[in-house]
Amino acid sequence: MTSYAGSSSAAKPQLLVVKGCFSAMGGAERDLIRNIPFLSEKFVVKVATLDPVDELESICREMDFELMTPENSWIISDDPLSIILDKDSSLKAWKEIEGLDSVIEKSDFIHIVSGDGSMSIIDLIPSSIPVHLHLLEPHRGLHENVLHMKVNGHPKRNIGLTKTLLSRARKRDILRIKSFNSREKSSISGNSKYTVSRIKEIYNIDAGLLWPSIDLEDFSENDEDSDFIKLNSPYVVNIGKASWVKGTWETISILEETNLSLAHIGGGDKEDIRLLEEHAESCKVKVWFAPRLTQNELAIVLRNARASISLAHGEPFGLTPIEAFAVGTPAIYVNEGGFKDTIVDKENGRLVAREQIKDWHSALKDAENKENRVRWSEAGKERIKSLDLSCEKHTERIYDIYKKLKN
């Protein structure tokens, strides 16, 4: 891992980094864990979460950062009635963290990363303390239908009824974000141009832009073997919890008649996995549902793949194309959402219309060509440089936000 330089802590402002849950360990969680050590170059860092994971605990031990958590991890309720009635137990969980109130009071700056359980901590923060909200996406369960679909794309329940039942929670979400935005010394940033546009559309707020980051050293080649990969045939990689919103079902569908297998990374609910296995069998596509992988194992799976692909619906940013660029694997993604911020079609990968199956097959053929792989890889890494997605730059951008709010 990269070394982290910095001046003595006495001269640095106190930063509290907040995220409700880490257990999903998707792109957002990996990005934050990747960036936390670099923040120590500008700040004295403390971290608060309701649901830690081993990777976070390890990096905090390594960097000697205080990690503040409740005695028992908070788990978001999946009870439909709680969601409909807008009952959020996360504030109670934040209040149960011993010493958190004191840390908040002594903080010079608080950086909140959105997600389950994150927003309620705002109720505990004095108005005099500068706060930045990295709003990775508006609450999709409240503002979009896509999260109310089964893994095969069929509605879980009547969509019209669902929207009506969630109206109270939806109104409260809009009020909460608008209230935060009007708060003294507050700032909101999206993680892509697409997300910024969605924040404007839903909340009528002009948000800033704070890109995610990538540390290329996390993806450097090593001598570890790939025997843990349970696929023998050429395969593509799809990353994200198995679901309709991540396009898992459609990914399997487009692989029919390609002779390519699928390495799916991100897990999923037991019943969803069963349905996907049945779908894969009907499409004659071999699928390996990988267990939870380390960063190094993820890099190995990506490096050995024909391509990294995704048909995710409205992906806010999509860190996976960047990770594919980093290891030199072609990125073939649906021409929607935040993927368009990083992929330039036929220059550093492919952007393909969702319904154009022949175009997907053609793009997968293009990814087999060695000249294309080298050219796209080089252009992809240049794209990372042009957007300046280094962890050091990410820290600088957060520090600049702090300085503006402080003044």
Give residue limits of the domains in the chain: 9-213+390-406, 217-387
What pLDDT score does 310 carry? 98
* CA–CA dist 307, 284 (Å, integer): 19
What pLDDT score does 42 carry? 97
**9-213+390-406 and 217-387 share one CATH topology?**
yes
* CA–CA dist 28, 338 (Å, integer): 13
* CA–CA dist 29, 46 (Å, integer): 16
CB 213 within 8 A of CB 27: no
Tokens read off for 259: 């002779």
**The overall pTM is greater than 0.95:** no
CB 244 within 8 A of CB 149: yes
What pLDDT score does 99 carry? 97
pLDDT along the chain (407 residues), means of 10: 48 97 88 95 98 95 97 77 66 96 98 96 96 96 94 95 91 96 96 96 98 84 76 92 96 98 95 98 97 86 96 92 92 96 96 97 97 94 92 97 95
Fold of 217-387: Rossmann fold (3.40.50)
What pLDDT score does 217 carry? 79
* CA–CA dist 228, 398 (Å, integer): 38
CB 138 within 8 A of CB 163: no
Distance of CA 174 to the CA centre of its chain: 22
Domain 9-213+390-406 CATH superfamily: Glycogen Phosphorylase B; (3.40.50.2000)
Residues 6+ apart with CB under 8 A from 243: 151, 268, 272
What pLDDT score does 2 carry? 43
* CA–CA dist 246, 334 (Å, integer): 11
Residues 6+ apart with CB under 8 A from 120: 20, 88, 90, 91, 94
